[in-house]
Amino acid sequence: MPPYRIDESIRQRVLRRQGRFPAHQRIDARRAALVVVDMQNYFVAEGHPGEIPAARAIVAAINRMAHAMRAAGGAVIWIQTTASGALEHWGNHHRHMLSQERAARRLAHLAETHDSFRLYPELQPRPGDLYVRKIKYSALIPQSSDLEALLRGRGVESVLIAGTTTNVCCESTARDAMMLDFRVVVLSDATAAASVEEHVASLNNIVLFFGDVMSVDEAIGRL
């Protein structure tokens, strides 16, 4: 993905609404978490069913952000989509929005014993990191995961979102985080989508209504 640039017209709209840009002038890492969404083989590795090739290019940025977050005293949380409970809690998506073949492949490859479920091997999780399994696009919608309880239990106020895809699971999680009254930062160069157009449109929508959009360098500079 090329570097994201916030259009000046969007910047001015945000400034008129909130009086400053970005909303996060600094990020208190002790009350923050880096939430890395769906960087699993299924969505990242070559030849896997949900492959987003651009997701491989953001691995280094995610690793760098995770290292900085840990060093500053914040949490790193790896989100993995699972097939476990998907039909019980999200059955209509699989029955009506996917072909039978695609639904069966998705459920098989996102089984927790399948290689597709595992984190992409070039990522660098560390002891002390946290892991959350989600069922739906958003990790924060009811019946998807226990992410909200985990964040509340750690006193997290700001959620930094990385991963794939920008306009689906990352944006869905960011929207719900904001609506649950967390402060949101989406990392523009640590998220990826199937096309540049989808990536940019999603980031524009997020910065207008749901939270800050920053590069990894910008976020690290505010820790």
Q: Which residues are catalytic?
A: 38, 134, 169
The set of residues, in sequence order, having a beta carbon less than 8 Å from that of 62 and lying 6+ positions away, is 36, 39, 123, 162, 163, 190
Burial of 94 (0-12, 13-18, 19+ CB in 10 A): middle
What is the end-to-end Cα distance of the chain in Å, rounded?
Answer: 24
The set of residues, in sequence order, having a beta carbon less than 8 Å from that of 128 and lying 6+ positions away, is 70
Would you say 215 and 188 are in contact if contact means Cβ atoms under 8 Å apart? yes
Q: In terms of DSSP H, where are the helices of the chain? A: 8-18, 41-44, 59-71, 86-89, 91-96, 100-109, 147-153, 171-179, 196-209, 216-222
